[in-house]
Each structure stands twice: as structure tokens, then as C-alpha cells.
């Protein structure tokens, strides 16, 4: 990457989409409104010791009641697209059975408000908030959950399918598997290590069933969102290089390969000849062609061979993540290496070729400790992060990667999962006591960038 800012570079391609993203559980609040049922995150966040400072999302950013304010912010931003998610528990409180009509009414209001503002809705159908009754029946360890998801998707399509042009099936199934079922750091909080692998397959099967339902319902486009990280070996030692390859397989390739090629990567190094949960015909369902491929990127990962006595070695895993040396970090402590974003996008193109549909950056952003001073939030480090990472996307496009859009994470500050309210990612500051929204300097910077890029290609 050179030192030029995004303002100094040529415009993005014609038709490039700009916007921001959020997720239902993180922003909506009103967890007991309109007949909504409990999700795994409601249970997890109300379990002592699971979330920092004992926080929960009962109110969160109060977007359930303030959604019109948030749509107005998107309009002020100049966004062409808004990625949000639909709470399964709000639409189908028990995870099965008929739709909860008041829950669907809410999402209909959101979609109509977006359309009235000239903003394209891009709903994600599952963003980690599994209905608790399904978790009690086995959660994503149970194959039946994939079938139940297909039923849920049909209910949503019946109400909203006539107005939504594009859908995302799942958000980051890798993190649901790794953090929710393997390590236990996120809901539902199981620490099964390799025993979590069936949840990966069942989520991908759910994705495939959702794709089939969307195709059957009409002409809407469909994709999935996967989290991708550039995996860097800690040293050139063969053990570290092998460890990085193994980590790349289970974090990146297990989730991209079946969707894009209809095949899982070789996991024989983990003692697996067949992927857990796989049945005949599943990969045909999972590998159905997509219209776009969503990429979430935040940071690269440095990996070493698992050290003796580590939790990874104890679980039979050959790797463990380690810190980078002399690299700036976000408020979360995540390494900031913008060039890694370009490398990830180019690697996807190189690895999957014509099986890779156009990419949409569905999340990218950074948390920093923000505060309102004199009515403003001077988040210069976030601006620098966005500037460098949007530049990294531009560089990937220059290298031949077909990228069609960029959505910043996130529109507003939110409930940041197990970190509670200690990490702020928003372009807009939220006072979690009052709900007041204050656009940050990064909001203004991003608004100006979008205006400049849209002006370069007037419709």
C-alpha cells in the first residue's frame, strides 16, 4: 500500500455499492416485545460471568423503537445499501411453527422505510441468535436445525420476498462453530473443540436449503457472508508453517470450499476422512451457485505450532494464534494490517477462480474507545483504519478481483457480544443510557467518500 488516501485514487467501478451493516441482537433491544422468544444470546448474556460487566442486550441501541432514526442516518450517509439481520426468535419464537406476525410486521416496517429512503435492504437471515428452544433440542449439533431454518426462511420470504432484492443466508458460520461450540467464548457457550465440527456442516446445509427457498420464491439474488483472515505463520519453521495451513483450513477453507466448490478441504491431518455430519447429496445442496459472496474482514492472524500445555494442544489441535510483533492494534487488540485485506481478496480469486461470484465486503471496521466531547467524536484512528482498508479493497480491484460493494461495520455502536458495551465500532456514537445518536467524525469522512464516489458515476 502506498501513502495516498482514498481521495487521491481513481473512482471505484460504476455501480459499486456503499453502505453499513448491523445485526438484530446487537442493536434492536425490546427483547420481550411483540411476542419475540428467547435466543441463545439472551440466555448467554443473562448468565453471570459470560459477558463483560454483566451486560445484556435487553435495550442495546434501542433500534427496535428508533429504526426510523437509523434509516435517517443511512440517508444522511448517502448509503445505497443497508445490511441488517432478521431475528429468528422475533419471527418464530420457538424456532418452529407458524410465523409470529407482529415480528414480521416490524421487519416489514424496516424494509419499507429503507425503500422509501431509496436504500436497498440487504437482510441477513441468521446472525448467531438461534432460538433457545432449538438449542435445547441440540442446536447446530442437530441436523434438524438446518431443516427448521429452511422453514423459517420460507416464512420470511412469504412476507418480504416481494420487496427485498438480495438476501444473505448466514453470517460467519465459522465464528458460530469456533466461538460458540468449540471454544465456548460466545453463545451458546459449548467448549467441544473438534467435537464442534458438525455445527459447521449443519450451518452450511442450512445455507443451501435457504438458497433453494430463495430461488424458488422469485428473482432475488442470494449470497452468504463468511469471515476471512489472512493466516501468517509465526516463523518459517516447518511446524509453524504446517500449523498455519491447518488453521487456514478450519477457519477459512472449511466454510468457503463447500459453498464455492461443493467440496470440503482435506482434513486428514486432523484424523478426519469424512466431514462430521456429511450425508449423501448434502454438498450438492450446499454448493448451489450464488450471486455474490460476502466477505467480512477485520485483521490477519499469526499462528504457531501449539505449545505444550496450551488449551489447543490439550484438545489435539496443531496450532495456536500468537500476537504480531510491532503492529498497531484496535481497541479490541486486533492487529491493523491493511495489506492483508488485499491479500485475502486476491487469494480468494486465485483459489476459487470462476467458481467465485462477485464479492461484496459485508463487514469491515474497527473498535476504539470513543467519547463525545463538545458534541463531537474525533475518531481519527477509525478514519485511518477505514481509509487504509478501503484503499486495500481498491488495490484488490486493480489486481483483478471482482468486488461490487463495501459495507462498513457498523452503522451505530452496539452490544458487542461477549464484550458487552466495552467496544465501539459505530460510525455513530450511541449513548446507551439515553439512546441518543451522535455521528462521529468517521461518519462525516465516510459520507464525503460515498458522495465523491457516487458523483464519479452519476446514474
Catalytic residues: 363
Neighbours of 369 (CB within 10 A): 10
Round to whole Å and give the CA distance between 99 and 4: 51
Q: Do 39 and 89 contact (CB within 8 A), yes or no?
A: yes
CB of 255 closer than 8 Å to CB of 170: no
Q: Are 330 and 261 in contact (CB under 8 A)?
A: no
What lies within 8 Å, CB to CB, of 19 at 6+ separation is: 74, 77, 79, 80, 81, 82, 83, 119, 122, 405, 406, 407, 408
Strand pairing of 359-363 and 292-296?
A: parallel
Answer whether 127's CB lies under 8 Å from 23's CB: yes
Q: Three cell numbers at 448? A: 464525503
- Cβ atoms of 175 and 186 within 8 Å: the answer is yes
Instruction: Check the CA dihedral 108-113-119-123 and report its sign.
Output: negative
Phi, psi of 82 (to 5 degrees): -135, 120
List, as own/partner pairs, every contact residues 349-352 make where C-beta atoms lie below 8 angstroms and the sequence separation is at least 24, other chains included.
Answer: 349/400, 349/401, 349/402, 351/256, 352/256, 352/260, 352/261
Amino acid at each position: 500500500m502506498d501513502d495516498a488516501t482514498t481521495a487521491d485514487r481513481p473512482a471505484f467501478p460504476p455501480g459499486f455499492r456503499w453502505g453499513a451493516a448491523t445485526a438484530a441482537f446487537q442493536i434492536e433491544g425490546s427483547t420481550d416485545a411483540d411476542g419475540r422468544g428467547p435466543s441463545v444470546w439472551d440466555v448467554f448474556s443473562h448468565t453471570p460471568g459470560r459477558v463483560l460487566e454483566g451486560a445484556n442486550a435487553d435495550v442495546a441501541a434501542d433500534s427496535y423503537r428508533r429504526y426510523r432514526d437509523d434509516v435517517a442516518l443511512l440517508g444522511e450517509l448517502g448509503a445505497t445499501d443497508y445490511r441488517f439481520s432478521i431475528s429468528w426468535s422475533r419471527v418464530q419464537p420457538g424456532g418452529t411453527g407458524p410465523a409470529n406476525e407482529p415480528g414480521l410486521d416490524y421487519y416489514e416496517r424496516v424494509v419499507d422505510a429503507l425503500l422509501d429512503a431509496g436504500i436497498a435492504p440487504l437482510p441477513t437471515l441468521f446472525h448467531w441468535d438461534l432460538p433457545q428452544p432449538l438449542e435445547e433440542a441440540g442446536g447446530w449439533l442437530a441436523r434438524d436445525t438446518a431443516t427448521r431454518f429452511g422453514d423459517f426462511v420460507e416464512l420470511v420470504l412469504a412476507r418480504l420476498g416481494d420487496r427485498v432484492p438480495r438476501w444473505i443466508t448466514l453470517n460467519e458460520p465459522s465464528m458460530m462453530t469456533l466461538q460458540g461450540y468449540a471454544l465456548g467464548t460466545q453463545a451458546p457457550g459449548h467448549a467441544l473443540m473438534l467435537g464442534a465440527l458438525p455445527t459447521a456442516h449443519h450451518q452450511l446445509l442450512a445455507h443451501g436449503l435457504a438458497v433453494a427457498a430463495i430461488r424458488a420464491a422469485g428473482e432475488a439474488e442470494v449470497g452468504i457472508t463468511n469471515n476471512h483472515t489472512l493466516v501468517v505463520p509465526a516463523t518459517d519453521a516447518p511446524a509453524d508453517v504446517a500449523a498455519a495451513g491447518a488453521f487456514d483450513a478450519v477457519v477459512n477453507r472449511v466454510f468457503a470450499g463447500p459453498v464455492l466448490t461443493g467440496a470440503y478441504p482435506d482434513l486428514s491431518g486432523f484424523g478426519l476422512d469424512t466431514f462430521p455430519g456429511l450425508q449423501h447429496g448434502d454438498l450438492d445442496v450446499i454448493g448451489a451457485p450464488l450471486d455474490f459472496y460476502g466477505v467480512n474482514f477485520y485483521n490477519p492472524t499469526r499462528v504457531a505450532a501449539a505449545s505444550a500445555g496450551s488449551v489447543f494442544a490439550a484438545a489435539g489441535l496443531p496450532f495456536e494464534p500468537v500476537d504480531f510483533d510491532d503492529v498497531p492494534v484496535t481497541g479490541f487488540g486486533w492487529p491493523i494490517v491493511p495489506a492483508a485485506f488485499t491479500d485475502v481478496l486476491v487469494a480468494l480469486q486465485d483459489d476459487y477462480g470462476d467458481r467465485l461470484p462477485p464479492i461484496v465486503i459485508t463487514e469491515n471496521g474497527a473498535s476504539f474507545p470513543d467519547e463525545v466531547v463538545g458534541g463531537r467524536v474525533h475518531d481519527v484512528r477509525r478514519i485511518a483504519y477505514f481509509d487504509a482498508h478501503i484503499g486495500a479493497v481498491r488495490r484488490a480491484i486493480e489486481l483483478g478481483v471482482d468486488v461490487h460493494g463495501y459495507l462498513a461495520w457498523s452503522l451505530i455502536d452496539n452490544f458487542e457480544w461477549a464484550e458487552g458495551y466495552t467496544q465501539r465500532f459505530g460510525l455513530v456514537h450511541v449513548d446507551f443510557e439515553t439512546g441518543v445518536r451522535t455521528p462521529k467524525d468517521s461518519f462525516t469522512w465516510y459520507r464525503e467518500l460515498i458522495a465523491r464516489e457516487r458523483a464519479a458515476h452519476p446514474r
